[in-house]
């Protein structure tokens, strides 16, 4: 008898997590996230976009209740992996949220790396790298435009472009934030959407 409540708890957690994640992936229009990004470079060139998403308190409470199985207020490796697979994977398949323009083409993301989840003052914070094929640094400047936007409006994002930037130790990199209007390939974006304009080359 003493194991019966635990079995029920696990079944309830599974159903609740399935419900929350399904809602998230199907136009959960009252879901909010504060977002910061960093363009990430290594010695070869541009390699990805670091994302830091801080979710609203209501959604955060739901996820803490269903994903924090041991109730310690933190996410173990297994719990973080569950959040990564159930929450972010569907959007990676659709290539949503991070949009990187190189020349006349949008880059196709390779996947999610260096994922972590934490509870910060009652808010769920996801920190992860969206990896891209390397855009090599050459002797002349190469230009990228990086934007965060959800075309399906599943998440109402507030993007802090002033708090966004680059992670780089080896290349000559310059960047600034500005509006995207006027760029043809971003014409479907919100009129007030901003992007991170980055140029880089070998030192």
Decide: 171 and 41 in contact? Cβ < 8 Å: yes
Q: 112: helix, coil or strand?
A: strand
What integer pLDDT is reported at residue 29 of this predicted model?
A: 54
What integer pLDDT is reported at residue 13 of this predicted model?
A: 41
What integer pLDDT is reported at residue 52 of this predicted model?
A: 95
Instruction: State the Cα–Cα distance between residues 140 and 55, nearest whole angstrom.
Output: 39
Instruction: State the Cα–Cα distance between residues 71 and 165, nearest whole angstrom.
Output: 35
What integer pLDDT is reported at residue 17 of this predicted model?
A: 42
What integer pLDDT is reported at residue 28 of this predicted model?
A: 46
Q: 19: helix, coil or strand?
A: helix
Six-digit token string for 12: 């309830």
Instruction: State the Cα–Cα distance between residues 62 and 125, nearest whole angstrom.
Output: 13
What integer pLDDT is reported at residue 95 of this predicted model?
A: 63
pTM, two decimal places: 0.81
What integer pLDDT is reported at residue 93 of this predicted model?
A: 63
Residues of the chain with pLDDT under 50: 1-28
């Amino acid at each position: 008898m003493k194991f019966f409540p635990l079995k029920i708890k696990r079944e309830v957690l599974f159903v609740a997590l399935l419900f929350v994640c399904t809602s998230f992936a199907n136009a959960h229009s009252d879901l909010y996230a504060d977002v910061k990004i960093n363009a990430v470079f290594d010695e070869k060139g541009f390699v990805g976009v670091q994302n830091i998403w801080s979710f609203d308190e209501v959604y955060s409470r739901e996820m803490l209740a269903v994903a924090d199985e041991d109730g310690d207020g933190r996410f173990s490796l297994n719990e973080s992996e569950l959040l990564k697979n159930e929450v972010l994977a569907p959007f990676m398949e659709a290539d949503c949220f991070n949009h990187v323009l190189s020349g006349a083409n949008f880059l196709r993301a390779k996947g999610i790396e260096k994922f972590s989840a934490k509870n910060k003052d009652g808010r769920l914070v996801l920190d992860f790298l969206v990896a891209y094929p390397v855009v090599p640094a050459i002797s002349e400047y190469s230009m990228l435009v990086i934007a965060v936007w959800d075309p399906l409006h599943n998440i109402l994002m507030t993007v802090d472009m002033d708090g966004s930037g680059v992670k780089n130790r080896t290349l000559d990199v310059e960047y600034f934030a500005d509006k995207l209007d006027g760029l043809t390939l971003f014409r479907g974006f919100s009129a007030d959407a901003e992007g991170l304009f980055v140029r880089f080359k070998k030192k």
